[in-house]
Amino acid sequence: MGFIKFVGKTCGFMGYVVQYACVTHCTFEYIGDFVMCSGPSMEPTLESNNILLTEHISPRLQTLRRGDIVIARSPTNPKQNICKRIVGLPGDSIKSHFPRRAKIVPRGHVWLEGDNSGNSADSRVYGPVPQGLIRSRVVCRVWPLDKITSLTEY
């Protein structure tokens, strides 16, 4: 009788573990998650090893705005994520330095740039980025603790 009770309790415990794992997965996949920033492209706004809280709802509802900082798949390396600021939305005219002419952001794309223009591979290098590559929008920096700030109103 003791073995059957043990198996019953173990199955009950495993049921809770599976439920919590499913809730956690859905939360991180569809609502938001944490991202560690690396590289100098967003300095001084963000530095390497900053941990950011991001949300996945805005990209899905297509409510992103100019000035939002986003996490996207790199257009040149799909295994890598990039952290950049939205500078242009579909239909916007972007002034290009090389060559000196305006580029129009096509429908379904955004223009992404790093805040550190001298050290950022961004849309100035690879052009407009498909909106489908945007994974999430940065809500705030949560680490380091002395620099916790909202990044939604820049």
Which residue type occupies 53? Answer: L
Euclidean distance between CA atoms 130 and 137, whole angstroms: 15
Euclidean distance between CA atoms 53 and 37, whole angstroms: 11
Using alpha carbons, select from 61, 38, 40, 60 the residue that is nearest to residue 51.
38
Q: Which residues, in sequence order, are bridge partners of residue 73?
A: 81
Catalytic residue among 41, 58, 123, 136: 41
Q: Which residues, in sequence order, are bridge partners of residue 130?
A: 109
List phi, psi (to 5°) of 3. -65, -45
Q: Concatenated DSSP letters for 136-149?
A: EEEEEEEESGGG-E
Decide if 41 is catalytic. yes
3-state SS class at 143: strand
Catalytic residue among 84, 120, 123, 136: 84
Decide if 79 is catalytic. no
Residues designated catalytic: 41, 84
